[in-house]
Amino acid sequence: MNFRHVVLISGCVLAARPLSAQLSARDTAEFLTVTQSLLDALTTGDTSVWAPHLAPDWFETDEEGNRSSRSDFLAQMHPLPPGQSGVLKLGAWHLVGQADWAVMTYDINETHHYYDQTLVTRFHSTDTYARVNNRWSQVATQQTALPTPVAGVTVDPSRLADLAGTYALTASISLTITARDSGLWMSSGSRPAQRLYALTDQLFVVHGRRGVWVFERDGRDKVTTLVYWRDNNGVRWRRT
Amino acid identity, position 131: R
**Lowest-pLDDT choice from 7-21, 43-57, 158-172, 185-199:** 7-21
Fold observed for domain 157-239: Lipocalin (2.40.128)
**pLDDT tens readout for residues 129-159:** 999 999 999 999 999 999 888 899 999 998 9
Domain 3-146 has CATH 3.10.450.50: yes
Average pLDDT over the chain, rounded to whole? 88
Confidence of residue 91 (pLDDT cuts 50, 70, 90): confident
Measured in Å, how far apart are the chain's first and last C-alpha atoms?
40
Taking every pair of Cα atoms in the chain, the longest distance, rounded to a whole number of angstroms, is: 72
The per-residue pLDDT for 56 is 97
Domain positions in the chain: 3-146, 157-239
Q: Are strands 67-69 and 84-97 parallel, antiparallel or unpaired?
A: unpaired
Indicate the pTM of the whole model.
0.74
